[in-house]
Amino acid sequence: MAENAAGTEITPETFELAAAHNDTIIIADQRVERQVETLGALTNINPPALALAQSSAPAAAPPARPAPKPLDVRVVASQFVDVPVSGDARSLARYSGRVDGYIEVNSSVYGGPSNLTIKLRPEYTWGQDSNGQVGLIPGNTALFRPENSGDFDLSASLLWKWNSGATLEVGKMNLLDTSGALPIVASDGHFGFQNLGIALPPTAVVPNTLTGAMLTVPKGKMIYRAWVFDPDSQYQRTGFETAFESGVAFMAAAARRVSIDNKPGIVNLAIVGSTRDSFAQDILPRALTPPPQPFGTFGNESGELAMQLSYYQFVKLYPEARGKGWGILARFQASMGDPTFLDYSGYFGISGNPRFRPQDRFGLAYFQYSLTDELVDDIAFRLGIEDETGVEAFYTHQIFDSVGLTANVQVVDSAVAFRDTGVTVGARLTTVF
C-alpha cells in the first residue's frame, strides 16, 4: 500500500477542483488507484504532488471516477527531532512522533449503496516537542493538541457522494486532512510546512477537530462549501459531550479557478462565525486566560464573525515532470474581535518542487498573528503580548518512494514580549504504508 510520498506524477488536465475549510482543494486523478473522497483530504496522492487544473480551458464535466474500493487502509508515520538553537528556550534536543491511520469502508461491502463511505481516522502521538518554548503558535503541527489532553484520538464520519460530484460528510472530522490538500501549501503535519501558523492556520473560531456536517457543491469553475458544526474542540470527545452547548458555528466559502500565463491558480473567500457568548476556552492557552468579569472585559460579547481570503498560484510547471512545479501562497483573515481571541492573521510565501529533483519539495513562508486588543489589555498586568511573526523554511529529500527526510528551520519573534527571537532547527522522517 505504500505510495510515492513526493514523486507521484499527476496530470493537471485530469484534476477536479474543490475548495474546503478556509481554502482547501479536492483533487481527483483518473490515473491513480485511489479516488479522493471528501473535503480536500487526499487519500493516496501525497501533498507535494498537488497541482490545479488549467483554468484557461473551458469548464468541463468532472472526469469519470473509478469504482470505489470496498476497503482501503493507509498509514502515515513521522518521527521528529527539534532543537532551539537561539533565543530564550533551552537548547535541548527533543524527540517525538505521530502516526495516523486512514480507513475507508464502502457500504456496498455490507449490501448498502456505493455512494456511502464509512471513514475512520485513528491518530497517536508520543514524545516531547518544542511547542510553546519559543512562540505561542505551535511550531510542530503534528504534535499540536489541547493542553492536558492525551495522545490518542479517533475521528469517524459518513460520506455521501452524489453522481454530480457533490458530497456531504457528517460526523467527527480532523481538519489536518483538509489542510494537507491545500494547493502549494499542502501541509498536514507529516508533509510540507511544520509551523501551525502556515500548515493549519488558527482561526480561533474553527477547532482543529470538529463534529458537524460539511457540504461541498462543485459547479463549473466554482466550488461552494457550507459547514455547520459544534464550536467546541472535539479532540478526545465523541461529540455528544458538548452537544452544541457553546452555540452553533458555521462556514460558507466559494472558490474560483484562475489562470495567469496558462498557469493554474485558485482564489477562495470564506466567512466563518459562531453564536458563542464566550471565548474558546478549550483552545486558548491557559497563560492567556483573562481575569473573570467584571475585572476583565474580554469575553463579554456574543457572536463571532471572521473573513478569510486566500490565493494560490502556480508560477512554474515542469513539462518534463507533469504535475510538478512551484508557486506562491497567500492568506489573510480578519475577525470582529471579542469573543474571538485572534484579531487578524496571515501568511505568504512560495513552495513546490525543485526542477533538478522534482520528487523533492521545498518551502519558504512568512506568517503573522495578532491577538485581540481586549485580551491583550486584560492580561497586560501579568504578561506582555504583542504580534507574533515568523519565517519557516523546509526541504524534503525523497529517499524512497514512500520515505522522505525533511530539514526544517523556524525563526520566530514570539508574541510573548519578554522573549527574544528564537531559532529552532529540526528533522522529520516520514513513511507512508
Least confident interval from 15-19, 86-90, 306-310 = 15-19
Most confident of 23-27, 173-177, 393-397: 393-397
Q: What is the pLDDT of residues 345-395, one digit of tens each?
A: 999 999 999 999 999 999 999 999 999 999 999 999 999 999 999 999 999
Residues in the chain: 433
Residue 161 lies in a domain: yes
Cα distance between residue 424 and residue 377, in whole Å:
29
Pairing of strands 263-274, 304-317: antiparallel
Residue 68 burial (10 A CB sphere; 0-12, 13-18, 19+): buried
Residue 92 in this model has a pLDDT that exceeds 60? yes
Give long-range contacts, CB 8 A cutoff, 24+ apart: 24-29: 24/178, 24/179, 24/181, 24/182, 25/50, 25/52, 25/181, 25/182, 25/183, 25/255, 25/266, 26/181, 26/216, 26/223, 27/51, 27/181, 28/62, 28/63, 28/65
Residue type, 17: L
Residue 1 lies in a domain: no
- Model confidence band, residue 27 (pLDDT cutoffs 50, 70, 90): very low
- Residues above pLDDT 70, as percent of the chain: 84
Residue 233 lies in a domain: yes
Q: Record the pTM.
A: 0.84
SS3 74: strand
Q: Which grid coordinates are listed for 331?
A: 492568506
Residue 42 lies in a domain: yes
**Residue 65, pLDDT score:** 60
Residue 406 lies in a domain: yes
Residue 263 lies in a domain: yes
**Residue 255, pLDDT score:** 97
Residue 135 lies in a domain: yes
CATH number (domain holding residue 93): 2.40.160.180
User: What domain range includes position 138?
Assistant: 12-432
Residue 5 lies in a domain: no
- For the chain, the domain total comes to 1
Q: What is the pLDDT of residues 407-428, one digit of tens each?
A: 999 999 999 999 999 999 999 9
**Residue 280, pLDDT score:** 86
**Residue 66, pLDDT score:** 65
